[in-house]
Amino acid sequence: MKLQFAGIRRNSQYSPNQITNDGLILLKTAQELMKLGIDCKIYEESEITDKKIIENTIFTMARGIDALNILSEMEDNGKLIINSPKSSINCYRVNMSAKLKAAGIPFPNSKIVKTSSNEIYNLTDVGIKKIWIKRGDVHAIHREDVSLVYGDEELNFILKEFAHRGITEAIIQEHIPGDVIKFYVVRGTDFFRWYYLNENNNYQFDVSYLKELSEKSAELLNLLIYGGDAIISENGSITIIDINDWPSFANFRDEASLYIAKRIYSESIEFSKLNG
């Protein structure tokens, strides 16, 4: 009898400009699992309930807090879920920032703020000429959720707009000049890929150190399938600025889906051995 796995497609609101790519990496992963002899049923994030999903192995791109809370209960009750919903919650910005900074990962100077606070914030709280303001939970839904600001008035206006939209916390973060690097990883495999997002300078850096930082970050956040962003400064120093639970792997989709499927399959086999 074939093993039955469930795949959960990410809600489109959590895939700004990546709806197709996010959908394709999940579909390709399911196709690769089927080549390994697995039957896969795909659910929408909005369909997640503890009664509807009967499969014991679940691979998921869900990001909404309601879905993640239900998945966490399912995980606690004995289902194998990749990535763990708790790791996805770890990737919410306020959680990620605190964990990475506390562990000594090179990370921009940041401050977690309450959007409904009457306090007036200044660029000098974390930076000098310009800083980033980012919503504190999921990575982005609207373009304004991650904004570069140049003045105190603009900073405090955006915080009020966040509060109006029901976003209770935000991160104000130092801007670090340099080249932006995107990287993609399937932990526990040989899959580690990166590229320059903007080839302004092509500053050189130690790729092995980037890999080390990404691995340490994944361990802290408990991620298996992940990606991230880093800044390479002129002197070659590396600053991690973001870690994402299960990104689209768009530039490497075909190759990545093969590694992801094998990782899920091996985790399932090991899970079955440990749990009878």
Model pLDDT for residues 142-197, shown as the tens digit of each residue: 778 899 999 999 999 999 999 999 999 999 999 999 999 999 999 999 999 999 98
Instruction: Tell me what pLDDT residue 275 has.
Output: 80
Q: Which CATH class is domain 109-174?
A: alpha beta
What pTM does this model have?
0.93
Q: Give the model's confidence band at 23: pLDDT under 50 very low, under 70 low, under 90 confident, else very high.
A: very high
| pLDDT score at 199 | 67
Q: What is the mean pLDDT of the chain?
A: 93
Domain assignments of the chain as residue spans, ordered by start:
3-83+251-274, 109-174, 179-245
What is the mean pLDDT of the segment spanning 24-33? 97
- Mean pLDDT value of segment 34-38: 96
pLDDT above 70 as % of the chain: 98
pLDDT bracket for residue 50 (50, 70, 90)? low
Tell me the pLDDT tens digit for each residue of 185-243: 999 999 999 999 876 778 999 999 999 999 999 999 999 999 999 999 999 999 999 99
What is the average per-residue pLDDT within 121-138?
91
127 pLDDT more than 70: yes
* Dihedral (CA of 91, 193, 213, 262) sign: positive
The CATH class that applies to domain 3-83+251-274 reads: alpha beta
